[in-house]
Amino acid sequence: MLFHRKGPFSEDPPNLNSEMHYFTYKRNDLYCENIKVKDLAKEFGTPFYLYSARTISEHFHKIKKAFSSIDPLICYSLKANSNLSILKLLVKEGAGMDIVSGGELYKVKKVNCPAKKIVYASVGKTEEEIEEAVRYGILMFNVESLSELRKLEEVAVRLKKKINVALRLNPEVEPRTHAYIITGKKGTKFGMDRHSVKAVFFQRQEYPHLNIVAIHIHIGSQITQAAPFARAIKKVKSLVDELEIKGICLKYFNIGGGLGIVYDKENPQTADGFARRVMPLLKEMSARIILEPGRFIVGNAGILVSKVIYLKDTPYKQFVIVDAGMNDLIRPSLYEAYHKIIPLVRRKKAENKRQKLVDVVGPVCESGDFLGKDRYLELKEGDYLAVLGCGAYGFSMSSNYNSRPRAAEVLVKNNRAYLVNKRETYKDLVDKEVLI
């Protein structure tokens, strides 16, 4: 194999994750399920995102099976990947949806997600977004502040509705992950402190049009160990015990998402391992549990396929310049995230000795425009590459920077490849602009 981080000549297959996915070599060609990826690159052009429906479905059911004894509501987190065909697939499997914007609400309505399986987070919901969600009849809002609570009460009065509410508690737990995706420690913009949450429950009569029935936590993303989740859940349990003494019982407890996956050398917990650690705590609570997995379900179900445009040698560095850039996949630049990079056609062992240490970079005019640094690869101009682990926070965080059209998205399902999002055109870039 050609992506070994410390040196060349590793021949392990690319199924590197503790959770199974369906990207693998067959006779030196990379396949997605039973379809050769190189054929798709020629058919759809590059760059494009490629997803495995089988991986998505199996990962959802791993979570469902692991927690089956408590029958939780599993709400897929749209922000990870909101492609409509992926959402439709998950809704058919029985998933609910965790949304954070009016646009995401619009999308889940398009795939007919049952309203009572939708929870709505975000620190900055607009009045218009709240109204639309209330009219659709979603299960509940995860409320992040007293100001938002007051706004919800105003909307409920005007619409003559009762609104279900979960209070988002900031449990002040710091998991080991990137600073930008920690959301449950002091100093972040997310949630409310314990004192404020408790005060709202005790003063809930001030919000007669709100059913304050739940507590929500979400401590961060790409968390590979169960311990931070357990600490956060114990803090909620302590608060719930205080509330119950006063006769206040919760209907739901939303433990959020954030389960990590393998990008490089992580050793994340499996769904079963996570469940074994936190279920004893959850079973002590009478509330129904809600989970919000995103990355765990789609992260390793997707790759970014790109073509080598140029090879560039300098006295200091060797570069592989490809047609995908930071506008397509911003995680390496934004988080210094590591994604394994592999060729669509693996060379013979004898040719591996010609591997070079290179940086894989894109065409965007930024020094931060890279997909991977210091990788052992032997490539020619015109070759194709796959960037692994791009199913989550890949296309969903892409942009038109440098006036670059966004990539296509392709889904392999039941031994067929479907174009599920057309490549943007130059016309798409200017259609909404007004020339004066």
Same fold, 23-52+299-430 and 82-293: no
Cβ contact 200:212 at 8 Å:
yes
Amino acid (1-letter code) at residue 321: I
Residue with tokens 């998991």: 175
Domain ranges of the chain: 23-52+299-430, 82-293
- Average pLDDT over every residue of 310-334: 96
Confidence of residue 12 (pLDDT cuts 50, 70, 90): very low
Please identify which of the residues 113, 249, 365, 390 carries the catalytic annotation.
365
Q: Is 113 a catalytic residue?
A: no
Q: Is the peptide bond before 47 cis (omega within 30 degrees of 0)?
A: yes
Measured CA to CA, the distance from residue 331 to residue 353 in angstroms comes to: 30
CATH fold for domain 23-52+299-430 = Lyase, Ornithine Decarboxylase; Chain A, domain 1 (2.40.37)
> Between 3.20.20.10, 3.40.710.10, 3.40.50.300, 3.90.105.10, what CATH number should domain 82-293 receive?
3.20.20.10
Q: Which of 159, 247, 164 is nearest to 207 (CA)?
A: 164
Average pLDDT for the chain: 89
Confidence of residue 184 (pLDDT cuts 50, 70, 90): very low
Residue 281 has pLDDT above 80, yes or no: yes
Question: What percent of the chain clears pLDDT 90, i.e. is strictly above it?
Answer: 72
Q: pTM to 2 decimals? A: 0.91
